[in-house]
Structure 1
Amino acid sequence: MTGKSGPRRVTSADVAREAKVSRATVSYVLNDAAHQKIPEATRQRVREAAARLGYAPSAAARSLRRGRSDIVLGLLPDWPIEHVLGRLVQQLTDALAQHELTFLVHSAAHPARPLREVWRALTPAAVLALDAFPEAEADAVRAAGIEVVMAVHGSARSGHRSPLVPEEPIGAAQARYLGRAHRRLGYAYPDLARLGVLARPRLDGVRKVCAELGLPEPDVRTVPVDPDGAVEAVKAWLAADPPVTGVCAFNDDVAMAVLAALRWLGLRAPRDLAVIGVDDIRAAALARPPLTTIVRDTEAIARGLARRIVDTLDGARVSADPIEDPLLVLVRVSA
């Protein structure tokens, strides 16, 4: 029995025949090999032949040339993949591509393939985990010859004393903004335990600024993204002694749940309760009232992470300081 095969992959031999040069010349030209005295006319002929045939060097060939893979394995924790996380993944893909690295993402959401199977199959140049990375797993990765293991929210013995991208400044920025006009703040904590790695330091930032401003400890309430749970939290804040008049929410989704609860109770932000979110998701500007929020520079984060990975791969000195993440308070109506 015979079957029809798909189109044959164009090889460097095809390019060599088309350009009437040797395969070595094709390799020198397309790989920009130094110290090769090849006439510019020949170089142009090789490039045109490669373009005409649609030739692209294989990943295996690139890896052989560099002495390592061009893959960076990105490990996503079991977090909701929504607007901001999706944007960061795209920006990391773009930032790493500028260094001829390919960003491949693996989600830990159940029932994902075990992580160890993934990195063994891919043998990436580097592993970037958005959450903390287990030390035992990091040791196993390095033992397999993968030298770069970086974790955004956990060191994995990377030498970073603090997270690469700290979350505490976000809560601090929220509290500083509301603390100018409010004497008691609340914190709307998410009801997904797996988001604690982000929520806890953000809450720590709120607490720190409250202490600096001489305000009471923030009144922390878990706010699910549903009307009933959010209504109960709002009632508790308003009934506190003294009452909460400004709420720092974990993110925009939680903030909009608080705004919905206020409307359900016949109340209004910011008159009855000011609310500030994080992330500036697309719906934030359409909320009732439009949501004041903290905007992160995810592009700067992506560039910074890519730079750390490339520098580490190249053996260059890598800063131990957190990546700069300029924060902007986008003022709308809710606070």
Structure 2
Amino acid sequence: MPTTAPKRVTAADVARSLGISRATVGFVLNDTPGQTISDATRERVIAEAKRLGYRANSAARALASGRSRIVLLVMPDWPLDHNLRTNLDEASLALDEAGYSLVTMTPHVGGKAQPLWETLSPDVVMGLGPFTREQIARFRAAGVEHIVPETATEDGFALDELSDGPALQVRHLIERGRTRLAYAGSADPRLADLLALRRESARAEIDRTAGAELVTTADVDASNAAECLAAFLDAEVDGIVAYNDDIAALLLGAALRAGVDVPGRVAVVGHDDAPVASLLVPSLSTVHIDIAGLGRYFAQMALTAAAGAPVPTTRPFTTAELVVRETT
């Protein structure tokens, strides 16, 4: 025989069990301000609700309070790498401590799913950069009151460099006596804008420095890492600036398989200080960024917006630190 789901315990059940009014129980369970309910009654209600297995109806509570206590982060279509995971983990933890849940979604061109800002009634919709005017109009039409950032651009996400990581990579290689440098980017098309930023930052630092030159660039993936490394060596490259640690690891692996001495023949420096960097043999020199602090900052922006207060108009400069290991 099919089983039936147990009946949900309601505030009325708690009131009936205690022999007090439904209104009193509701005031206690909803923590309604301005009510003169004794501590003894409040404790009785909470204890009985727990004994009966009462669980708040989150939809009803959101309707009554006008708040869902949800922050929706609308993500660009990026791979979920080490930095992004750390950012999200820290933001989620900071929001959870304040009683909010972080939900993420990535809209896709031609996607059929109903947008979460229409189904979740989030208190705040956030982005990692400016939204398009069309996106903001959709949020407003769905009843979203707080949007961070509120300033729109025609093209949407406006990237800005949060650290001097690429410059640190270049300066470190030059300090190690490397003068013929290559930039190894990612072949993942989702990273094209971020890659352009980091590559141009590295190129600008090379241009500012006498005695070194950017000999060549290449976009690397697992299928062409050996070929890219061979091209770098043919061009007499002695230092490789990698977009991130994954790209650096691919080139390091290709070098080890080909019997190329790292860092004797060519030095390699990554970016992001992913866990893999310290596990490789030789271990990978890289750039560490306080991305966790940025995640907490994003959470604070959301909480400020949810309270109806003006959010900061500038983001903090995220500190970068060179981590010197065996590949340089």
Q: TM-score, normalised by structure 1?
A: 0.84
What corresponds to 2:139 in structure 1? Answer: 141
Alpha-carbon distance between aligned partners in 2 of 1:319 and 1:218, rounded to the nearest angstrom = 41
- Per the alignment, residue 287 of structure 1 pairs with 280
* Equivalent residue letter for 2:69: D
In structure 1, what is the Cα distance between the partners aligned to 2:171 and 2:19?
69
What letter is aligned with 1:135?
Answer: R
Tell me how far apart the structure 2 counterparts of residues 219 and 155 of structure 1 sit (CA, whole Å).
38
Q: 178, 190, 196: which is aligned to 1:194?
A: 190
1:170 aligns with 2:169: no
Matched, 1:234 2:229: yes
Instruction: Rate the CA distance shift 1:21–1:74 in 2: closer, same or farther, 3 A.
Output: same
Identity %: 33
Match of 1:93 in 2: 92
CA distance 1:248–1:65, shift in 2 (3 Å): farther
Show CA shifts across 1:161-201 (max 9, x none).
Answer: 965x7355332332233232232332111001111132121
With the length of structure 2 as denominator, give the TM-score of the two structures.
0.86
1:97-146 per-residue CA deviation (whole Å, 9 max, x = no partner) reads 222222222234688544x5433222322223347643312222123321
Q: Distance in 2 between matches of 1:305 and 1:27?
A: 34
CA distance in 1, matches of 2:3, 2:9: 18
Determine if contact 2:62/2:68 at 8 Å carries over to the other structure: yes
Question: Structure 2: any 5+ residue segments left out of the alignment?
Answer: none
Alpha-carbon spacing, 1:110–1:284, altered in 2? closer, same or farther (3 Å): farther
Q: Distance between the aligned counterparts of 1:49 and 1:174, measured in 2?
A: 61
Counterpart of 1:255 (choices 245, 248, 257) is 248
**Contact 2:131-2:153 at 8 Å conserved across structures:** no
1:330: Cα distance to partner?
Answer: 2.4
CA-to-aligned-CA distance 1:81-105 (integer Å, 9 cap, x gap): 3444334333332222222222222
SS in 1 for 2:152: coil
- TM superposition shift of 1:308: 0.8
What is the match of residue 222 of structure 1? 219
Q: Report the Cα distance in structure 2 between the residues aligned to 1:49 and 1:82, rounded to whole angstroms.
A: 46
| Greater Cα offset, 18-27 or 182-191 | 18-27
Distance, in Å, in 1 between the alignment partners of 2:9 and 2:95 is 26
How many Å apart are 1:304 and its aligned residue? 0.7
Give the alignment of 1:3-22 within 5 angstroms.
4-22=3-21
Does 2:325 correspond to 1:332? yes
Between the aligned partners of 1:238 and 1:157, the Cα distance in structure 2 is 43
Instruction: Summarize the alignment of residues 109-124 of structure 1 with structure 2, pairs less than 5 Å apart.
Output: 113-114=112-113, 117-124=115-122
Distance change in 2, residues 1:275/1:15 (3 Å) = farther
Relative contact order, higher structure (CA 8 A, sep 6+) = 2
Contact map agreement 1:189 1:250 (CA 8 A) in 2: yes
- 1:295 deviates by 2.3
Q: What corresponds to 1:63 in structure 2?
A: 62
What amino acid sits opposite 2:208 in the alignment? E
Paired with 1:65 and 1:45, the residues of 2 have a C-alpha distance of 24
Shift in alpha-carbon separation, 1:55–1:4, aligned structure 2, 3 A: same
Which residue does 1:51 correspond to in 2?
Answer: 50
Spell out, residue by residue over 1:213-263, the C-alpha distance to the aligned partner (whole angstroms, 9 max, x if none).
Answer: 23434632111123xx222222222333xx332222111111101101211
Q: Distance in 1 between matches of 2:94 and 2:209?
A: 39
Secondary structure of 2:125's partner? strand
Partner secondary structure for residue 68 of structure 1: coil
Q: Aligned match of 2:291 in 285, 295, 298?
A: 298
Helix, strand or coil for the counterpart of 1:278?
A: coil
Q: Is the alpha carbon distance of 1:326 and 1:55 closer, same or farther for their aligned partners in structure 2, counting shifts above 3 Å? A: farther
Computed over aligned residues only, the root mean square deviation of the Cα atoms, in angstroms, reads: 3.0
2:131–2:152 CA contact under 8 A, matched in 1: yes
Q: Which amino acid aligns with 1:179?
A: I
